[in-house]
Chains A and B, each alone.
Chain A
Amino acid sequence: MAETAHTTTTGGAGQTGNIVSRFFRATEIDTRMLGMVGALLIIWVGFHILTGGLFLTPRNLWNLSVQTASVAVMATGMVLVIVTRNIDLSVGSILGFTGMVMGVLQARMLPELLGFDHPAIWIIALACGLLIGGLIGTLHGLIIAFLGVPSFIVTLGGLLIWRGATWFVTSGQTVAPMDVNFRLMGGGTEGSIGATWSWVVGIIACLAIAVAIVNARHQRKRFHFPRRPIWAEYVLVGLGCVVVLGAVMIANNYFWPVNIARRYAEANNIAWPEGGLLISQGIAVPVLMAIAAGIVMTFIATRLRFGRYVFAIGGNPEAAELAGIKTRWVTVKIFALMGVLCAIAAAISTARLNAATNAQGELDELYTIAAAVIGGTSLAGGIGSIAGAMLGALVMQSLQSGMVLLGIDTPFQRIVVGAVLVVAVWLDTVYRARSK
């Protein structure tokens, strides 16, 4: 049975099945991922109808992308943590602590040394944040790997410790405002790249998709592996470009608020036109950061030895150890990476809020874990994808902002998000059991 079920060795596509299943087999699209995209679209259209056309507007989608960025960045690292059968409950507190440290550095300490609005302030603050995040993660990883304390306990301790430490940095005071350059990482009118650059980014992304697919085909040809039919390759390139350019178009269709545009016009001596001045926001900087984090983490997870080891350890820790993999150091590196990603998320959320507060990132650990799990990461270890986790973050955020638009109270929002998490994981369990 095992052999006969898999006869797609010649030509790539099987000759059996109806046109739909043949299409999926030929393009090798992950049906599980497709299911998630479908669920997302249902949520979006549903909210669009319920809110009377408020949800699927450039403005709301643009905000949604910015709001998702911080959790999405952390979710990329949480995938690796969960894949190795660990958990990190401390990410929200690490976010709070690194955010507070970066806030104090740029709002209080560095201006005294360098002068107000010095261009190096944001770089130094960010670098310190990343370093501290990495060190905290390394510390967690060392305790988990070499002292043998379960990650659940170490990071539960971390959750309390770093939240407490956040308070001690300023004795509970909120730090504001942030450095003017640092604030760009939070999005908003200033922190977006405008129409022209958005198109440039979009076109580069389309070219990258095409190059990646052509390159993969060449590689497979070189070693005489089965290839996808040529039409499937075109479909994939086309689909990728449509999605990318569509997203750019939406971002460019969200314009500066009237007041800011008017001020800008006055400052630059532009005559105020009849229909108002339409300046495109374009893609927000935090969104670009999240996408970059996703690409880098996917590269690490799938193209480097480290990523291969992460998945091997998750699948069978004993086998990985016997194969000569230094499993403990891999664990340390995973947690260090998670710490760095928390610091990036902290930069995004403090910049967006234009303040570092005591409560920043509270409950984010749960949203991050939920995003990874909804995105198909298995708590049993060994299975998970970065792209899935980021989509999971988008699903969670869509639910929340949809309910905000509907005017649903916060307590009820939490009930819905909790229920969705459980149902999503249950559906995934059913799907996996059936596909075996």
Chain B
Amino acid sequence: MTDQTNPLVEMKNISISFGGIHAVENASVDLYPGEVVALLGHNGAGKSTLIKVLSGAYRRDEGDILINGETADIRTPRDAKKYGIETIYQTLAVADNVDAAANLYLGRELQTKWGTLDDVAMEANTRKVMGRLNPNFKRFKEPVKALSGGQRQSVAIARAILFDARILIMDEPTAALGPQETAQVGDLIKQLKQDGIGIFLISHDIHDVFDLADRVFVMKNGKVVGHARTEDVTKDEVLGMIILGKVPPGATPGPGAMRIS
């Protein structure tokens, strides 16, 4: 996959700080179409912060974002959506008290020619998308609060792919799920990959990452330690990158790599 010439996303030398603390410093990552790139690191390593810059939840202090080789101006979640970037947040970010269709179309509701909500059309499309993702899903009329973790997750994912996302950001997509539901999400990621969607996967679970990702980027203390193709490194070597910042021979070192004196 990485032999393709044009990256879908390039984030170059991104820095962002909160009150003098550098949450992300001089970080660069890239993503190609049909590729899954995992971002790994400890809590507070800066992976969620970096990705929130791409999804428009945070504004970067420095650096550039290129989408299809062109500079993208992303300041708000709305901007990010214009570039086909959809995010599934760790907290799921669904409105608990409204139903699945309302969540899927939140912020982009379909309207009738009178300017009123076209609930029926929205529900029809929702049924179509959910039928593809999770054929067992039947509870269209109930508030999302009443659904199980996996069902809520499928609502969050359906919401992202409903609008032809080209770049999907998944922040700990399986953190709240049981083993069976985790496997479902894994299948879904493979399916989306085949459709040519680029996926950023943020995860704690190194096993998940090796199952799903083509490449890994490891972050530590706000800096990129290095990146590697999953087939070129072992799990232990990646753990070494996460914990010590030690870059194995199969990986390319970044600015956060441990200095070997």
Contact = CB atoms under 8 A, between A and B. Distances in A.
Interface in A1-45: 2-3, 6, 9
Interface in B72-95: 76-78, 81, 87, 89, 91-95
Contact of A305 (B91, B109, B147): B109
A382 B120 CA distance: 22
Contacts of A321: 77
A301 B237 CA distance: 55
Contacts of A334: none
Interface stretch (A188-196, A220-228, A393-401): A220-228
Contact of A318 (B55, B93, B147): B93
28 contacts: A2-B148, A3-B136, A3-B138, A3-B139, A6-B139, A220-B120, A223-B123, A225-B120, A299-B116, A305-B109, A308-B98, A308-B106, A312-B95, A315-B97, A316-B93, A316-B96, A319-B94, A319-B106, A320-B95, A320-B107, A322-B87, A322-B89, A322-B93, A323-B77, A323-B106, A324-B77, A325-B107, A382-B97
Contact of A320 (B106, B117, B136): B106
Interface string A300-331: 00111100100110111011111111000000
B107 A324 contact: yes
A323 B91 CA distance: 13
A24 to B, nearest CB: 15
Interface of B: prevailing SS: loop
B124 interface: yes
Given A321-B77, A323-B107, A325-B107, A308 B117 contact: yes
Given A9-B138, A322-B77, 12 more contacts: A6-B139, A225-B124, A305-B117, A308-B102, A308-B109, A312-B98, A315-B97, A323-B106, A324-B77, A324-B78, A324-B107, A382-B96
Interface in A209-233: 219-220, 222-223, 225
A383 interface: yes
B88 to A, nearest CB: 10
B123 A319 contact: no
Interface of B: 55, 57, 76-78, 81, 87, 89, 91-98, 102, 106-109, 111, 115-117, 120-121, 123-124, 136, 138-139, 142-143, 146-148, 151
Interface in A42-59: none
A311 B95 contact: yes
Contacts of B87: 322
A9 B137 CA distance: 11
Given A322-B89, A325-B106, A314 B97 contact: yes
Contacts of A325: 106-107
Given A6-B139, A222-B120, A312-B106, A322 B97 contact: no
Interface of A: 2-3, 6, 9, 219-220, 222-223, 225, 299, 302-305, 308, 311-312, 314-316, 318-325, 382-383
A58 B104 CA distance: 49
Contacts of A305: 109, 111, 117
Contact of A311 (B57, B78, B97): B97
Nearest to B106: A323
Contacts of B92: 319
Nearest to B110: A305
A150 B40 CA distance: 39
B123 A318 contact: no
Contacts of B121: 223
B152 to A, nearest CB: 11
Nearest to A219: B120
B81 A324 contact: yes
Given A308-B102, A316-B96, A6 B117 contact: no
Nearest to B94: A319
B131 to A, nearest CB: 12
Nearest to A226: B141
Nearest to B143: A315
A324 B116 CA distance: 19
Contacts of A312: 95, 97-98, 102, 106
Contact of A383 (B81, B97, B117): B97
A308 B97 CA distance: 11
A317 to B, nearest CB: 9
Contacts of B115: 304
Contacts of B138: 3, 6, 9
A382 B97 CA distance: 6
A321 B117 CA distance: 20
B46 to A, nearest CB: 19
B108 to A, nearest CB: 8
Contacts of A320: 95, 106-107
B207 to A, nearest CB: 27
A13 to B, nearest CB: 14
A349 B147 CA distance: 46
A43 B109 CA distance: 42
A324 B98 CA distance: 17
A214 to B, nearest CB: 14
A297 to B, nearest CB: 14
